[in-house]
Structure 1
Amino acid sequence: MLLCFWLFLIPPILCTDPGVKVRLTEKGLEYGRQLGVASIQQRLKTIKIPDISGKESVPPIGKVEYSLTNMQIFNVGLPTTAVDLVPGVGIRQSISKASISLNGNWRVKYLRIIRDSGSFQLNVNDLAVTSSIAIRSDNTGRPEVSSVKCEATVGSATIKFHGGGSWLYNLFKNFIDKALRSQMQKQICPLVADAVSDLNPHLKTLNVIAKVDQYAEIEYSMVSSPRVSKSYLDFSLKGEFYNIGKHEEPPFPPEAFLLPPQVNNMMYIGVSSFTANSAAFVYNKAGVISLYVTDDMIPQSSPLRLNTETFGKFIPQIAKTFPGLMMKLLVKTVKNPVITFLPNNATVQASGTVTAYAIQRNATLTPLFIIKLETSVSAKVFVRDTRLAGAVTLNKMNLTLGTSYVGDFQIRFLDSIFQMVLKVVVIPKLNAQLGKGYPLPALGQMKLVNTVLLVLKDYTLIGTDVQFTG
């Protein structure tokens, strides 16, 4: 729940720039406040007031023995609650003008032999609570919260006795009123602390290590203390991809970026180009940015086929040396693709090779040539559920001959074939993977609504409201 972000006093964890930033706005804090009121209200209803008994001198009767028993709270009202951001300090949560109503039984004995009993109702008004919440990282890298400061005051109260000689109680109700309010006041801050601790199970659902697929995972641990301003709270997260089971740092560091002032949504997530490029590094390291292209992947309607007959029209020696054979292409990257974010523009530069093989009748592969391939693609980035996804389209392609096993030939004649292979096979396969997306930082059953996305310089900004469904 967004209450989990009512946090401060986080000790520094790492001295590094984040790959991902999360900003909680005043609108988000307001949603958290609404969720928090229900939690605190339920906790205050659990106040247990022990039986109270004693003796008081009541003129002209003399000593009166009394007891109050079976006291139960039946209503808690929290009409005024607030959450304030204190720049450079943290968050202050306050409750004012609250009320608590309880009922119970009374019993008296006076003049040694006279006994009487009845019921009573106590209404406490002007109850006020001010509390602060601290957070520290647990041993899994997730945040853990606790109440570090709490002040509670119980204001005015009215008590009404019913039944029997209740007029007796009215003679010394001020004493009873004070005793009941004292019992309440002792328990309020511990219960508020319990309400804060109730957040920790929710915090443990934070996907600090989020699995993407069988090759990669992304880490969202905090790298520094949150930044508190007058109108928002910023969290700095690592936001780095790793190969599963092997955390190797990429050969480039994250670079600092600043989120712009935005207030329309509850939460903003900034995903830097570092995060995207760490993904490219991981998948290239895993050797999975490669694809074998065979003729059955080419649309039947295409006149260009992956066989020595088609290629022989451009490179005659292929048709002459390997007549009537099918072909296979291996497309793979030779270095890490580079993702760049500019305003309203996301591009990917990739360097790779295409190795062409003739498929012999005994299924062995004979290399024909290796083409060096430089491509630029435009990327569309979007949010799907709680995942950041994408799709690419080809901008331009440049071919140069790397190695030929069939003699010299003019590479430009192959442009149309490789344009077709990229557009109808490689890019659709890539988009199928990109469309699955990778998980954004999230808590439990968190749902993103009213989401907007902007591509800015060096990062992508996601603005969203949040709902918790569980």
Structure 2
Amino acid sequence: MAQTCRLGLLLVLLLPVVGASMPSTVVRLNKAMLSYVSESGKGPLQRAMQVTVPHFLDRSGEVLRPTRVQILNVQVLRLQLKFVDGVGVRLFAAANFTIKVFRDPEPLELILPMVLLADARVDQGSIGTPVVSLSSCFSLFNKAIVLDGSHSAPPALLVRVQKHIRAVLYNKLCLSVSNLVQGLNVHLGTLIGLKPVGPESQIRYFMVSKPIITKDYISLDINAVLFLLGKPIVLPVDATPFMLPEHVGTNGAMATVGLSQDLFDSALLLMQKAGSLNMDITGELKSDDNLLNTSVLGQIIPEPLVEVLASASNSAFHSLFSLDVAVNLSLQLSVSKVKLQGITSVLGEVKLTVASSNVGFIDTDQIHALVGNVFEKPLLDHLNALLGMGVALPNVVNLHYVTPEVFVHKGYVVISSGLFYQN
């Protein structure tokens, strides 16, 4: 008859629970990220620049005639972003506007080259998200080029048309860029949303200070709080905040994410409080080496085991003894899209200590092999199922980590990764 053995687990993990500061994370966005944004941002910027131009009032004749002007196409030839030390990001864009003036007897088509310069300040929002604001913006226009095949226009008219278009674009282009920035802020606001960790637990990230901006990167100091049934998991506070060393990770990575030991401690405490680490190992487990039955235990423990272990009901068993099982585990970390996942393996031997016994003296040497075989595989299966669910890393909607590399250092973990925005 298969029986049940309940084992109290004392897990000594790679990152043990200790008194520490609030869970903390540092997200460092590097120059490579700006290059990616520059390339992928051409399309949105072109669409934003496709503004409406009001009619041009043609004064060339005796009668003042309103003439329709339309931007047929905008081509961003170059978009460059760079960090401005202590401020934020500087934008440089070079674009060509293809414009049609519906003038009798034939329309006039021309290309107007333009350069747009803007500075965006990055700050900490009141709700703990990054906030971008346009601090300066202006545009410079070159002389318009009349396309071949267009009806020739008097030079004076061409000057007036260009002046009209430039005046409109000068005001509207910066407003369009400002609207893009506001849309970006809405997107950045998704950083602080609650993200599920398990059925009854979530994680929430939020900025705790203004970003640090250098010519090479922007660094965001972010706290991570884990919740169980709506209540935060809080560790004892240490006065020393987590700081990510300057040169860590992989050169050329778009993002460098530092995860302090506090985050792992908090995650482990969450699993303990949620009861996720509790497990029942039964004789019904399908395994060739599962020897958890009365005949095998009877060879080790000299008592009337059949009577003691006989079940009183489907859910109640008499207790023989309880063990504390100390297990050292190696933890391998990986990242999938936005989740940090792990897989464990037993490091060294499983150590057994008798916590209590109702059958007299227990020789742990005799039961070591039995319990080790019965215990090790179910434990690893159980933990790897938990760790496989993963914990969400700092992210915003539709932004994924790609080709990540994970480095484990004393007291923190570093993730070097590319980024991919999926529309």
TM-score by length of 1: 0.77
| Residue in structure 1 matched with residue 361 of structure 2 by the alignment | 408
Alpha-carbon distance between aligned partners in 2 of 1:100 and 1:323, rounded to the nearest angstrom = 90
Amino acid at match of 2:253: N
| Aligned counterpart in structure 1 of residue 330 of structure 2, from 357, 378, 393 | 378
Correspondences of 1:31-180 after superposition (within 5 Å): 31-45=36-50, 47-53=51-57, 55=59, 64-96=62-94, 98-106=95-103, 117-137=105-125, 139=127, 141-158=128-145, 169-180=154-165
- Is 1:20 equivalent to 2:25 in the alignment? yes
Q: State the Cα distance separating 1:377 from its structure 2 match.
A: 1.2
- Check the 8 A contact 1:99/1:125 in 2, yes or no: yes
Q: Which secondary structure does the structure 2 equivalent of 1:280 belong to?
A: helix
Using the TM superposition, give the Cα deviation of residue 295 of structure 1 relative to its aligned residue in structure 2, in angstroms: 0.5
Gaps spanning 5+ residues in structure 1: where?
A: 1-15, 57-62, 108-116, 326-357
Partner of 1:292: 280
Whose radius of gyration is greater, 1 or 2? 1
Pick from 235, 243, 265: which aligns with 1:257?
A: 243
- Residues 290 and 373 of structure 2 are in contact (CA less than 8 Å); yes or no, is this contact kept in structure 1? no
Match of 1:449 among 402, 414, 417: 402
Distance 1:185 1:257 in 2: 43
Q: Secondary structure of 1:148's match? A: strand
Q: Point out the more displaced range, 198-207 or 431-440.
A: 198-207
Does 2:170 correspond to 1:185? yes
Aligned to 2:5: none
Rounded Cα–Cα distance in structure 1 between residues aligned with 2:160 and 2:289: 95
Paired letter, 1:86:
V
Matched, 1:272 2:270: no
| Corresponding residue SS for 2:107 | strand
Paired position in structure 1 for 2:221: 236
1:360-375, aligned counterparts within 5 Å? 360-363=311-314, 364-375=316-327
Greater relative CO, 1 or 2 (CA 8 Å, sep 6+) = 2
Give secondary structure in 2 for the equivalent of 1:409. Answer: coil
C-alpha distance in structure 2 between counterparts of 1:411 and 1:206, whole Å: 51
Q: What are the superposed Cα offsets for residues 22-42 of structure 1, whole Å, 9 maximum, x if unpaired? A: 221111111111122211111
Which residue matches 1:247?
Answer: 232
Distance 1:359 1:152, change over 3 A: farther
Shift of the 178–368 alpha-carbon distance from structure 1 to 2, 3 Å rule, reads same
In structure 2, relative to structure 1, the CA distance for the partners of 1:427 and 1:378 (3 Å cut) is: same
Q: SS where residue 464 of structure 1 aligns?
A: strand
| Identical positions, percent | 23
Query: C-alpha separation between the residues in 1 aligned to 2:129 and 2:161?
Result: 47
- CA shift at 1:17, angstroms? 6.8
1:313 to 283, 299, 303: 299
Give 3-state SS (helix, strand or coil) of 1:290's partner.
coil
Please give the alpha-carbon distance, in whole angstroms, between the structure 1 residues aligned to 2:342 and 2:325: 22
Closer, same or farther: CA 26–281 of 1 in aligned 2, 3 Å = same
1:197 equivalenced with 2:174 (yes/no): no
Q: Residue type of the partner of 1:293?
A: I
Residue 375 of structure 2 is matched in structure 1 by 422
Amino acid at match of 1:33: S
**CA 257–172 in structure 1, closer or farther in 2 if over 3 Å, else same:** closer
Q: Give the counterpart letter for 1:292 in structure 2.
A: D
Contact 1:66 1:106 in 2 (8 A): no
Contact 2:83 2:214 in 1 (8 A): yes
Whole-angstrom distance in 2 between the partners of 1:426 and 1:127: 63
Query: 1:419 & 1:67 partners in 2: Cα distance?
Result: 94
Q: How many residues align?
A: 397
Query: Deviations along 1:141-164, whole A, 9 cap, x unmatched?
Result: 44443323212222322457955x
Secondary structure, in 3 states, of the residue corresponding to 1:296? coil
Rounded to whole Å, the distance in 2 between the matches of 1:257 and 1:143 is 19
Change (3 A) 1:243 1:180: same
Q: What's the TM-score, normalizing by structure 2?
A: 0.85
**Runs of at least 5 residues in structure 2 that lack an aligned partner in the other structure:** 1-20
Against the structure 1 CA distance between its residues 202 and 247, is the aligned structure 2 distance closer, same or farther, given a 3 Å change threshold? same
Checking the alignment, whether the CA contact within 8 Å between 1:132 and 1:149 is kept in structure 2 is: yes
Range with bigger deviation, 204-213 or 425-434? 204-213
What is the rounded CA distance, in whole Å, between the counterparts of 2:332 and 2:183 in structure 1? Answer: 40
CA distance in 1, matches of 2:210, 2:131: 13
Query: Residues 254-285 of structure 1, C-alpha deviation per residue, up to 9 Å, x if partnerless?
Result: 85231434432222222222111101111212
- The separation in 1 between residues aligned to 2:122 and 2:96, in whole angstroms, is 27
Question: Which amino acid in structure 2 is aligned with residue 102 of structure 1?
Answer: I
Q: Is the 8 A contact 2:225 2:233 kept in 1?
A: no
1:25–1:263 Cα contact (<8 Å) kept: no
For residue 337 of structure 1, what is the aligned residue in structure 2?
none
Q: 1:212 maps to which residue?
A: 197
Alpha-carbon distance, 1:170 to partner: 3.0
**Alpha carbons of structure 1 residues 39 and 303: separation in structure 2 relative to 1, 3 Å:** closer
Report the secondary structure of 2:352's partner residue.
Answer: strand
